[in-house]
Amino acid sequence: MTLSTQPYKGTRDFYPEELAKRNYIFNTWRKVLIASGFVEYDCSILESAEMYLAKSGEELGSKQLYAFEDKGERKIALRPEMTPSLARMVAGKFRELKFPLRWFSIPNCFRYERPQKGRTREFWQLNADIIGLEAGEADLEILLLLGKTFLEFGATKEMFSIRYGHRGLLDEWINKNNLNDKKEAVYALLDNWRKLVGDKKLAFATESGLTENEFKIVFQMVENPNQIDTTSFAEIALIQKTLPSILPEVEFVFDPTIVRGIAYYTGLVFEAFDHNPENNRAMFGGGRYDNLLELFNQKSPAVGVGVGDLTWHEFLVGWNLYPENLSETTKVGIMALNRNSLTEIFGKTIPKLISENKLYEVNYEYERSENKRYDALKKRGCGEVIKI
Amino acid sequence: MTLSTQPYKGTRDFYPEELAKRNYIFNTWRKVLIASGFVEYDCSILESAEMYLAKSGEELGSKQLYAFEDKGERKIALRPEMTPSLARMVAGKFRELKFPLRWFSIPNCFRYERPQKGRTREFWQLNADIIGLEAGEADLEILLLLGKTFLEFGATKEMFSIRYGHRGLLDEWINKNNLNDKKEAVYALLDNWRKLVGDKKLAFATESGLTENEFKIVFQMVENPNQIDTTSFAEIALIQKTLPSILPEVEFVFDPTIVRGIAYYTGLVFEAFDHNPENNRAMFGGGRYDNLLELFNQKSPAVGVGVGDLTWHEFLVGWNLYPENLSETTKVGIMALNRNSLTEIFGKTIPKLISENKLYEVNYEYERSENKRYDALKKRGCGEVIKI
């Protein structure tokens, strides 16, 4: 029998060239996060299935979940997202942990869906969360973190923007405009705003139960977001006052169409947008979810973001932001001039057995300390290293 | 309903303190491998189940396998080891790849077994392989790589040894001693040699079908391995001649009891031993397996090693080899002296909004470039950084 050499549907093989790209993204994310005071955590990709099924009614809890039974009849699942695991870990050591936490992880997750451009069944996702701080500086901090992450990859202002809204502000506006009993319809309309082109906005609105007049009220608000009084939540006031001067290299925009679905988030919500005309879309998002630990009967305020590896990869490709040489090794040539030098060179590089008076091309980490080592070899007349 | 905060049985949560240890191990492995000319690859943890079931009769192919069906009725499995995936990837691009390959990966794997000390259902395993080189220098290279990996962690000669054998040599010896029809029994006896204490060796041998006299022949050979002529395989001659001078800091020992089970390996076999009296055992092993691509109807010589994260962790703990401070962040204090400095400090650290004349303790990557930055701040009288 000959087996197929294809990977499982919706998953990817990372040959060294592709893994170098993934490592570049992950390591750059890590660099920004660690520099911002975040620490990394991880856990198993296998979790109890009930953790996802508990949130019934959601897509993740049912048809997209890779759930099965182990040989001991435990119901287990491959995580479709990291947040429930994060909540489990934080709740599990709630009394020992020193809050606030600034935690990040870059887990792989599985969702059973039709693979298509920019979507695979297995994906990696940067999760960065601040846990234990109420709305305020932490919300600002997450937005800054995102902006700086883009900058670290060499992105410039014209390439992307970070757009944010606030559920509390939107609820206030809905209340002021007597749309309280149409709240779900307004949220749904705003959530789909960008996808609905031209007439489709009104059609969607009426289907959702809004009158034409109510639609107009929403439409005018989106056209002129200034009519939303943004002063009643301190974190938004803080963001608007502080962000432009702290990180002028990044475009932060208040945008009332950012609502991030109907459930889950409790305050600030945000999304990052790729400005590439061929790739113009929301790359990822996040926000405040003070209900994080609910499943585990604990309470703690939290704000966080999840960034997928694929959309980030496409952003870098679209704007040509990958560095030219991602290989972690540098080619050097080693010329062994006499027998004495063989073991000395071998002691560090072991590319293959080296014969005298022959130039070997090898992959080798070209560090300053190594330069010294080879300088010494050279001085003693027993070897030569040439950077290729 | 309140959910349990425990991870799934046999898996581990990596809180930041534990993950720092794991990262230290993985990053040090990476460093040695990259410096030795290896490149990293990866693939999905989900594979077609038939890849493992194809090797029928083995434990991994049946009761230890996490196998299940996806919603499209594909039979899939969580990989129990990386080698079949490696073979799949190499076979899949056999004509494009430039051999020899020096490839490594640090995947997580799952095996359904009873969790106990040093054994979990989920484990990570460094896989390093040289593919496309016949027995010879590549065998030497793998042993050197292992030795240098131990040294990179600060291990010294008394802490460990690397013991190697050779199936071809053993077969020759078996043939010379007319034990050909008892070959399996001899292999099984040698494979269990260290576990069988005192009388149990003979008992095991007779149960396996060896006569008392045949047992004596094996016993004397193990007591005096010199009676095995090690010159008939060039790679062993090369190892014995070259290793002591190349890496005198490591104890390499020819040991005919190293056979690594009955199947799979085709030449050199080796194991690393922890000398810690409380942890005295084989940590991991590897060898030559020129049948690597068999499942995919290709042929290529290969030699490789698999190193588990748990035994390595226990080795480091046992010999107290973990560095004291593994945290990737360094604590510094930031004193903002006036309003002008706020945005400047913010621009890099954003730990929280900073008030004037107050010392904040923050986690911050303490780089030399940052020192300069803060020196400049200090000179201009608008800020102060104190390393804590």
Residue A115: band (very low, low, confident or very high) from pLDDT cuts 50, 70, 90: confident
Residues of B in contact with A385 (CB under 8 A): none
User: What is the reported pLDDT for B371?
Assistant: 47
Write the pLDDT tens digit of every residue in A327-344: 765 455 555 444 455 455
At A192, the amino acid letter reads: N
- Tell which phi-psi region holds residue B209, choosing left (phi > 0), alpha (psi between -120 and 50) or beta: left
Superfamily name and number for A16-38+87-99+124-318: Bira Bifunctional Protein; Domain 2 (3.30.930.10)
User: What is the reported pLDDT for B61?
Assistant: 55
Could you give the residue ranges of the DSSP H alpha helices within chain A?
16-35, 50-53, 83-92, 137-152, 167-176, 183-191, 200-207, 212-223, 234-246, 309-318, 339-349, 368-379
Distance of alpha carbon B52 from alpha carbon B84, whole angstroms: 8
Of B16, B89, B141, the CB nearest to A15: B89
Residue A352 near chain B (CB below 8 Å):
yes
Q: What is the 3-state secondary structure (H, E, C) of chain B?
A: CCCCCCCCCCCCCECHHHHHHHHHHHHHHHHHHHHCCCEECECCCEEECHHHHCCCCCHHHCCCCEEEECCCCCEEEECCCCHHHHHHHHHHCCCCCCCCEEEEECCEEECCCCCECCECCEEEEEEEEEECCCCCHHHHHHHHHHHHHHHHCCCCHHHEEEEEEEHHHHHHHHHHCCCHHHHHHHHHHHHCCCCCCCCHHHHHHHHCCCCHHHHHHHHHHHHCHHHCCCCCCHHHHHHHHHHHHHCCCCCEEECCCCCCCCCCCCCEEEEEEECCHHHCEEEEEEEECCCCCHHHCCCCCEEEEEEEHHHHHHHHHHCCCCCCCCCCCEEEEEEECCHHHHHHHHHHHCCCCCCCCCEEEEEECCCHHHHHHHHHHHHCCCEEEEEC
Residues of A in contact with B1 (CB under 8 A): 54
Residue B329: band (very low, low, confident or very high) from pLDDT cuts 50, 70, 90: low
**Kind and range of the H or E run holding A66:** strand A66-69
Query: Mean pLDDT across the stretch A263-271?
Result: 91
Write the pLDDT tens digit of every residue in B200-217: 999 999 999 999 999 999
The reply to whether B21-133 and B135-289 are identical in fold is yes
Under CATH, which number does the domain B21-133 receive? 3.30.930.10
Q: Which two tokens stand for residue B299?
A: 């042929």
User: What is the reported pLDDT for A242?
Assistant: 84
Residues of B in contact with A7 (CB under 8 A): 43-44, 47, 88
Query: Are the C-beta atoms of residues B11 and A325 closer than 8 Å to each other?
Result: no
Write the pLDDT tens digit of every residue in A225-254: 988 888 889 999 989 988 888 889 999 999
User: What is the reported pLDDT for A380?
Assistant: 44
Q: Domain map of chain B by residue range? A: 21-133, 135-289, 330-387
Residue A310: band (very low, low, confident or very high) from pLDDT cuts 50, 70, 90: very high
Distance of residue B124 Cα from the nearest chain A Cα, in angstroms:
11
Asked whether the predicted pLDDT for residue B286 surpasses 60, the reply is yes
Asked whether the predicted pLDDT for residue A14 surpasses 80, the reply is yes
Nearest-CA residue of chain A relative to B365? A35
| Parallel, antiparallel or unpaired: strands B268-274 and B281-288 | antiparallel
Distance of alpha carbon B160 from alpha carbon A344, whole angstroms: 23
Write the pLDDT tens digit of every residue in B121-149: 999 999 999 999 999 889 999 999 999 99
Q: How many residues does chain B have?
A: 388
Distance of residue B141 Cα from the nearest chain A Cα, in angstroms:
6
Q: How far is CA B244 from CA A35, A82, A338, A356, B149, in A?
A: 44, 49, 19, 20, 16
For the ranges A52-56, B191-195, B293-297, the lowest mean pLDDT is seen at: A52-56
Residues of B in contact with A140 (CB under 8 A): 350, 353
Residues of B in contact with A112 (CB under 8 A): 70-71
Asked whether the predicted pLDDT for residue B385 surpasses 70, the reply is no
Residue A129 near chain B (CB below 8 Å):
no
Asked whether the predicted pLDDT for residue A367 surpasses 60, the reply is no
Query: Are the C-beta atoms of residues A208 and A185 closer than 8 Å to each other?
Result: yes
Residue A304: band (very low, low, confident or very high) from pLDDT cuts 50, 70, 90: very high
Q: What single DSSP character describes residue A259?
A: -
pTM over 0.90: no
Of B7, B8, B34, the CB nearest to A328: B34
Place of tokens 């008076």: A357
Query: Mean pLDDT across the stretch B66-79?
Result: 94
Under CATH, which number does the domain B135-289 receive? 3.30.930.10
